[in-house]
Amino acid sequence: MTTDLATFAAERGVRYFMISFTDLFGGQRAKLVPAQAIAEMQEDGAGFAGFATWLDMTPAHPDMLAVPDPASVIQLPWKPEVAWVAANPVMEGAEVAQAPRNVLRRLIAEAAGQGMHVKTGVEAEYFLLSPDGSEISDQYDTAAKPCYDQQAVMRRYDVVREICDYMLDLGWEPYQNDHEDANGQFEMNWAFDDALATADKHSFFKFMVKSVAEAHGFRATFMPKPIEGLTGNGCHTHVSVWDAPGDAARTNVFAADPAPGSPTAELGLSDKGRAFLGGIMQHAAAMTAITNPTVNSYKRINAPVTLSGATWAPNTVTWSGNNRTHMVRLPGPGRFELRLPDGAANPYLLQAVIIAAGLDGIATGADPGKRHDIDMYAEGHKVRGAAKLPLNMLDALRAYDRDRTLKEAMGAEFSEAFLKLKHAEWDSFVSHFSRWEKEHTLDI
């Protein structure tokens, strides 16, 4: 049953709705609409000038309408008179093909057409910094191995508890919170869900964490590598495929009937799951443009050893059993964990590219290759033939551009717009003058 937003407002005392969409760079854009006007907006959408956001439009384009998806509505736990609702961009009656939430919805529908319903969970790590972002908010958080530091997590209990309480109230089923492997870094986990629901929650989680941190006088960041020498912000993603969406799901397709003798059978991954994983492995280099979308992303993957002793990020396209040093880990039957994505990944495109690569793997019966059980950080040099991940954003964009199958699966309009804007961003980066080049070149 479709939620009527005007009724929702009347029943809950909501005065304003944030009609929100996400652009190609992951920015969340919203209009604040009074509840008195929401009935019309639910029908027609809120108007935006697409050029003013990162969607590859010109000032001459007509109005873009963001049509709210009432299934996604969330009353802000920290400001209950406002409700957030994710929207699908539409222009002149047609869905905007390059808009990230539309890209994901199209791929979810494609998978559903094949009887596959992707469920995912994300681990969106973040740092709590000083308000200007220059340092860790807690001056006593200096341990060389700060992961799970109970003293440090309790010094930020008020922030962590508030966010976790909100997730409990929202019915997200959060189940654990911890201090992560970098000083100033935290992780909060909630239950996995259908890919679109996870993408909406992931978007809202970022908004919520930043808002609560601000209210406590801190600044939360999901930047992939905010502090040199410390572990970066990953966004590890757990993936499984089911026979039906939502609560109707009964059978985990990734766990069902692995062929005896199959190299993944002993890890509890079905042949279909194995082929899906094969798609991830084959498209990994190109995927990186989406899962690790910023210049800074490449300081997390391919990084030198951090203060804690491990980066916890991959640098090579390999998979393993329950071993965190590889790009993909199979931690238990019927699912895998992609450890590649970082905190800058667009919540919608992250899910979309996993589905696109996985569906191609199933269509082609892709082989994920040999499983490696070694410590990749210590013995990675012994692996022969495994592809290296792109070393920087330009390499990743080029890998994406070369991968015609993935480009097509993500949508031609999307891929063209994404590559165009990202290349412009790269050009902006390389044309800026850095202190490093002066220090290394001035006296040459």
Which positions touch Mg ion (CB under 5 A)?
A: 187
> Whole-number minimum distance, CB 182 to Mg ion, in Å?
10
Question: Is the CA virtual torsion 425, 431, 433, 434 positive or negative?
Answer: positive
Q: Are 291 and 343 in contact (CB under 8 A)?
A: no
In the bound state with Mg ion, the residue whose beta carbon lies nearer, of 149 and 187, is: 187
> Whole-number minimum distance, CB 326 to Mg ion, in Å?
15
In the bound state with Mg ion, the residue whose beta carbon lies nearer, of 117 and 179, is: 179
77: which residues sit within 8 A by CB, 6+ positions away? 165, 166, 169, 170, 208
> Whole-number minimum distance, CB 419 to Mg ion, in Å?
30
Q: Are 123 and 234 in contact (CB under 8 A)?
A: yes
In the bound state with Mg ion, the residue whose beta carbon lies nearer, of 187 and 401, is: 187
> Whole-number minimum distance, CB 123 to Mg ion, in Å?
5
> Whole-number minimum distance, CB 383 to Mg ion, in Å?
24
In the bound state with Mg ion, the residue whose beta carbon lies nearer, of 72 and 189, is: 189
In the bound state with Mg ion, the residue whose beta carbon lies nearer, of 123 and 194, is: 123
> Whole-number minimum distance, CB 366 to Mg ion, in Å?
28
Produce one character per residue of 85-112: b if its CB has 16 or more CB atoms within 10 Å, e if not: bbbbbbbeeebbbbbbbbbbbbbbeebe
> Whole-number minimum distance, CB 189 to Mg ion, in Å?
9
In the bound state with Mg ion, the residue whose beta carbon lies nearer, of 187 and 193, is: 187
In the bound state with Mg ion, the residue whose beta carbon lies nearer, of 200 and 337, is: 337
Cβ of 33: how many Cβ atoms within 10 Å? 20
Strand 185-190 and strand 126-129: the pairing is antiparallel
Instruction: Name the residue number minimizing CB distance to Mg ion.
Output: 187
Structure tokens at 192: 């996995």
> Whole-number minimum distance, CB 148 to Mg ion, in Å?
11
Shortest CA distance to 195 belongs to which of 187, 184, 203?
203
In the bound state with Mg ion, the residue whose beta carbon lies nearer, of 82 and 310, is: 310
In the bound state with Mg ion, the residue whose beta carbon lies nearer, of 313 and 409, is: 313
> Whole-number minimum distance, CB 52 to Mg ion, in Å?
35
Say which amino acid occupies 417: A
Structure tokens at 244: 């039906």
CA dihedral 342, 152, 132, 159 (to 10 degrees): 80
> Whole-number minimum distance, CB 145 to Mg ion, in Å?
14
In the bound state with Mg ion, the residue whose beta carbon lies nearer, of 6 and 239, is: 239
Say which amino acid occupies 64: M
CA dihedral 185, 341, 338, 97 (to 10 degrees): 140
In the bound state with Mg ion, the residue whose beta carbon lies nearer, of 77 and 331, is: 331
> Whole-number minimum distance, CB 179 to Mg ion, in Å?
10
- Cα(200)–Cα(87) distance, integer angstroms: 10
